């Protein structure tokens, strides 16, 4: 990598890389904490619905008052995108509808965008990526978040000549988690309501990590960026430690759990009886390689890789990810190289809304991590064939049909919606 050399050369020429951040939450704050130690990178503007909260976030991460005073704070993300002193927009709101609107504003203004908002990317990524290409700007995943790190590993494996048997991440999972609501989420994290409140933690957001929704969204993003396949009926979440990756995450025909080769999958840090998995990968990412020939398989053994019994499957993994602390890699890659750190290329996977409980006519859906639905990963073709409602559009809409617990919610089950997010989603669907 030579990002710092490129950044130094540009700074020597009197031009800093200037970013604008939309959403000063946890991810954005982690990025802000690193900016003062990256010479040549500047955050020119920060947009947040609560400007005072954004300033407070800067103080919390260690910004001095001079840096805060030199930064423009606004409450309008679209206005930030239009600013002349912003070169790269970072969309970190987590709201899919807002993310789509901000992406379009960035393209119109000729700005690169780093889409931390994976929810928006999975909802309409193919259309957004196509519009970015037409505008001549970079549309990028966020380095440090798991999808971008997995895409990097897949690209590395393919560039080395390996077949990719599987790729994905680890998480804490049990089947019952699909029904957890914000009311009981903290017990699963080992926290009291008071501790969570003191830390400023949002119950619905953290529940989306627990109930399987975030895993579905992230694996859809990886499939859409890499072309890997999606399980036909959702993620399996097999319990698996790092030493068993090559044994478990191989095709069933070879003795593993996968339907076929080249698939996304999430592994659990818990056995199904709740015991911890030995050497789990809860915070990390992985790729399982298949040797293309006998010589490469011999090299796996000679160089100490953990393989399956046949010796033909091996795994590489990264045990941790640092989310916003690594985000500057994406910002600098877009500005200095004109390259994304992962980007949607096709529509392979979709995260669709599934009822957490029996839902009746008139019930109002509350989106990912809420009380009514969770997000399930399905192949895009399956989602389209049944008219499934994406989890990114399952917020604030009212049911016109009853939906049984465990069933997929369909567009036909909700009141008709006509807004920008739906329009761009339909554009993405037409690109399959």
Specify the pTM: 0.96
Relative orientation angle of helices 420-429 and 118-135, to the nearest 10 degrees: 70
- As a whole number of angstroms, the distance between CA 123 and CA 327 comes to 22
Instruction: Kindly give the confidence (pLDDT) of every residue in the chain, 432 residues in length, as a single tens digit, with 9 standing for 90 and above.
Output: 699 999 999 999 889 999 999 999 989 999 999 999 999 999 999 999 999 999 999 999 999 999 999 999 999 999 999 999 999 999 999 999 999 999 999 999 999 999 999 999 999 999 999 999 999 999 999 999 999 999 999 999 999 999 999 999 999 999 999 999 999 999 999 899 888 887 767 899 899 999 999 999 999 999 999 999 999 999 999 999 999 999 999 999 999 999 999 999 999 999 999 999 999 999 999 999 999 999 999 999 999 999 999 999 999 999 999 999 999 999 999 999 999 999 999 999 999 999 999 999 999 999 999 999 999 999 999 999 999 999 999 999 999 999 999 999 999 999 988 899 999 999 999 988
* pLDDT (tens digit per residue) in 94-137: 999 999 999 999 999 999 999 999 999 999 999 999 999 999 99
- As a whole number of angstroms, the distance between CA 147 and CA 340 comes to 13
* pLDDT (tens digit per residue) in 268-287: 999 999 999 999 999 999 99
Q: What is the DSSP letter of 237?
A: -
Report the Cα 199 to chain-centroid distance in Å: 23
Domain parsing of the chain, residue ranges: 3-145+324-337, 147-173+212-320, 349-429
Residue 90, φ and ψ in degrees, nearest 5: -110, 115
Q: Do domains 3-145+324-337 and 349-429 have the same CATH topology?
A: no
> What is the CATH superfamily name and number for domain 3-145+324-337?
NAD(P)-binding Rossmann-like Domain (3.40.50.720)
Report domain 349-429's class.
alpha beta
């Amino acid at each position: 990598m030579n990002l710092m050399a490129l950044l130094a050369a540009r700074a020597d020429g009197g031009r800093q890389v200037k970013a604008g951040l939309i959403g000063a939450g946890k991810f954005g704050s982690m990025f802000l904490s690193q900016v003062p130690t990256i010479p040549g990178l500047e955050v020119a503007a920060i947009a947040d619905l609560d400007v005072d909260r954004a300033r407070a976030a800067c103080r919390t991460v260690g910004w001095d008052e001079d840096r805060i005073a030199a930064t423009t704070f606004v409450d309008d993300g679209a206005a930030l995108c239009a600013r002349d002193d912003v070169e790269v927009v970072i969309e970190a709101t987590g709201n899919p509808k807002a993310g789509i609107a901000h992406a379009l504003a960035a393209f119109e203004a000729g700005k690169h965008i780093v889409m931390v908002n994976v929810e928006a990317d999975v909802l309409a990524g193919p259309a957004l990526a196509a519009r970015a290409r037409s505008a001549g700007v970079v549309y990028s995943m966020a380095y440090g978040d798991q999808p971008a790190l997995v895409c990097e590993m897949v690209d590395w494996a393919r560039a080395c000549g390996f077949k990719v048997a599987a790729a994905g991440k680890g998480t804490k999972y049990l089947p019952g988690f699909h029904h957890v609501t914000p009311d009981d989420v903290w017990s699963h994290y080992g926290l009291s309501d008071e501790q969570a409140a003191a830390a400023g933690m949002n119950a619905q957001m953290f529940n989306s990590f627990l109930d399987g929704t975030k895993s579905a969204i992230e694996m859809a993003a990886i499939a859409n960026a890499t072309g890997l396949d999606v399980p036909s009926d959702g993620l399996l979440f097999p319990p698996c430690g790092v030493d068993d990756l090559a044994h478990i995450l191989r095709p069933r025909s070879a003795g593993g759990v996968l339907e076929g080769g080249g698939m996304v999958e999430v592994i659990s840090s818990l056995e199904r009886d709740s015991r911890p998995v030995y050497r789990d990968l809860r915070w990390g990412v992985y790729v399982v390689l298949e040797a293309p020939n006998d010589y490469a398989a011999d090299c796996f053994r000679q160089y100490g890789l953990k393989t399956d019994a046949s010796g033909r499957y091996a795994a590489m993994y990264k045990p941790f990810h640092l989310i916003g602390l690594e985000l500057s890699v994406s910002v600098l890659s877009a500005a200095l190289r004109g390259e994304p750190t992962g980007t949607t290329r096709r529509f392979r996977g979709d995260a669709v809304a599934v009822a957490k409980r029996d839902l009746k006519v008139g019930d109002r859906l509350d989106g990912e991590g809420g009380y009514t639905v969770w997000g399930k990963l399905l192949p895009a073709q399956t989602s389209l064939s049944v008219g499934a409602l994406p989890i990114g559009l399952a917020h604030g809409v009212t049911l016109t049909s009853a939906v049984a617990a465990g069933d997929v919610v369909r567009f036909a089950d909700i009141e008709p919606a006509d807004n920008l997010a739906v329009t761009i989603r339909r554009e993405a669907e037409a690109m399959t």
